[in-house]
Amino acid sequence: MTRRTLGLALLGGVLAVVAFLSITLGSRDIGLSEVLRALGGTGDTGSTNSTVTLELRVPRTLLGILVGAALGVAGAVLQGVTRNPLADAGIMGINSGAAVFVVFAVTVLGVRGAGVYVWFAFAGAIGALVLVYAVASLGREGATPIKLALAGAAVTAGLGSLTTGIVMTNVDALNELRFWQVGSLAGRYYPVLTGVAPFLILGLIASLGLGRVLNGLALGEDVARGLGQRVGLTRAAAFAVVAVLAGAATAACGPIVFVGLVVPHVARFLCGPDYRWILPYSMLLAPIALLLADVLGRILVAPDELQVGVVLGVIGAPVFVGIVRYGRMAEA
């Protein structure tokens, strides 16, 4: 077994442990034996503790695994295809597009609840990413890394201003968007999980086939073309995968920060610059980070909760500064 393979196996074991902690620990004190009986189907199915375990914590944990993996892989793909170490869902307009559609659903259609407006957020995220790619593709050079970054910044600023203008004049939209924008796994039960899981799973499977082409793009467009790659088609395929992954993840849980930005750099540090390994490493590292942050948010201020987006913001900022300080971003 090679060092990289062993690393993946170890990360898989860590993820299993963290997932178990996510189910057993929380703001409500439930004994380990009760949790195990509920999971095994031998507990009192009508008890509050069994309901909390099976109906709240289990779907929350499963969603955390899928969303974390999606955000980590989407960040790695974006950084590879744009050759920009700062690329993530927020910079490429995905969060802003989802927010605009959530506001539209609330203000115009009167939609309430994450299980309903998740679909509007998904459509907005995909639409924004398509718009960014279309704008960047204008001109003779096509969608170059610099043009993609500039187009993403422009679309993000424009959609963000539009969202702010709407919510400042509508209290219902402001309250609903405020709940969604914090980034959270709380309140996302089986309807949300089953709604986005097919997209996330298919996107993750498709992403594993992008490693070789991302390695080619990392060498430069001319080298990639010399190796027989169709750069435009490669970028379009990569963005399609990102649209599905980041769009579904953002729609389900809101804009969760730092996971897609930081995790690919950590993966690169552990396994080297080969995207055939960066992608699966990111797929395991990201849900570990997300679930750990979610567990911390539940137990630090129990019986209340800190949303996972807040915890990741506090933890992710110094980690990102450390990455910059030690020059790991330069290796992207």
End-to-end CA distance of the chain: 26
> Per the omega criterion (within 30 degrees of 0), is the bond before 303 cis?
yes
Q: What is the pLDDT of residue 25?
A: 87
Q: Check whether 331 has a pLDDT greater than 70.
A: no
Q: Is 97 exposed, middle or buried (0-12, 13-18, 19+ CB in 10 A)?
A: buried
Contacts of 35 (CB under 8 A, 6+ apart): 23, 24, 49, 53
pLDDT band at 330 (very low <50, low <70, confident <90, very high): very low
Q: Are 265 and 323 in contact (CB under 8 A)?
A: yes
pLDDT tens per residue, range 96-124? 888 888 888 878 887 776 667 778 888 88
Least confident of 76-90, 94-108, 110-124, 303-317: 110-124
Task: Say whether pLDDT at 280 is over 90.
Answer: yes
Confidence band (pLDDT; 50, 70, 90) for 326? low
Q: Read off the pLDDT of each residue in 193-209 and give the average, rounded to a whole number.
A: 92
- Domain residue extents for the chain: 3-331
The average confidence (pLDDT) of the chain is 84
Cα-to-chain-centroid distance, residue 199: 13
State mean pLDDT over 299-306: 81
Distance, CA of 316 to CA of 311 (rounded, Å): 8
Give the residue-averaged pLDDT of 284-307.
89
Q: What are the two backbone dihedrals, phi and then psi, of residue 92, each rounded to the nearest 5 degrees?
A: -85, 15
pLDDT for the residue numbered 1: 63
286's CB contacts (< 8 A; 6+ apart) are 68, 69, 70, 71, 72, 73, 75, 259, 260, 263
Tokens of 64: 């955390």
3-331 CATH pick, 3.50.50.60, 3.40.50.1400, 2.30.40.10, 1.10.3470.10: 1.10.3470.10
pLDDT of residue 285: 97
pLDDT digits 0-9 by tens, 27-70: 777 878 888 888 877 766 667 788 888 888 999 999 999 999 99
